[in-house]
Amino acid sequence: MSSDLTIVLLSLRVATVAMLIALPIGFGLSWLLVRKQIRGRFLIEAVVSLPLALPPVVIGYGLLILLGNRGPFDGLAFTTFAASLASAIVALPLIVRTFVVALEGVDPRLELAARSLGAGPWRVLMTVTIPLAYRGLVAGALIGSVRALSEFGATIVVAGNIPGRTQTVPLGIFTRIQAGDDQAAIRLVVVSITLAVATLIVHDLLLRRGGLDGRRNRAGFGA
């Protein structure tokens, strides 16, 4: 049981670091896609969505080349950071897509009104854009966390399956299945399902509430 707790805590740590990496990048990319008319938009969207189309093993191998002994970031492979980076990359497309929907729900006329009253770009972002989009942003963070917690293919290639260091819940389940320890595997499966279901329920509630509030906000603005 103590080893199970270690695996769960490590998984939460990996997912947390992954979100610290992915959320700022995801927000920046989504804001760029929604608020800026830029050339190469399709290319940016394609690159961001690529982890959804590629096998996770391919992503893991690419990271292994970068973080391995012969790569430019030598020594980072087979570390907790490598596991977090792999999780961040596979979660990023879901985060960006959810953030894009959230930002598209913010009426740009409200931002323009704030700018006309003298608010700078950062103040508009912090006092208008994020407060109006926060439910969608939180939903994106939650769905990204679920994906980070469930990552397997990229992680096992670039970070390995090292107990106490890179062995997350999916890797722990895989190891216990291989060892024939069904009871231990089932315990981790229950933990994985519980975390995923709880997060997805909150995610769905936030999106439903955000959609209702968004319609009310737009109706109030046009009144």
Give the model confidence (pLDDT) of 89-136 as tens digits. Answer: 999 999 999 999 999 999 999 999 998 989 898 999 999 999 999 988
Q: Count of domains in the chain?
A: 1
Number of helices (H), then strands (E), belonging to the chain: the values are 10, 0
pLDDT on residue 208: 74
**Is position 15 within any domain?**
yes
* DSSP run (H or E) holding 1: none
State the average pLDDT over residues 71-91. Answer: 93
CATH of the domain at 176: 1.10.3720.10
User: Cβ of 205: how many Cβ atoms within 10 Å?
Assistant: 12
221 is a domain residue = no
- Mean pLDDT, to the nearest integer, of 143-163? 94
Cα separations in angstroms, 165 against 11, 50, 161, 170 = 10, 28, 8, 14
Kindly state whether residue 222 falls inside one of the protein's structural domains.
no
Domain that holds residue 112: 2-216
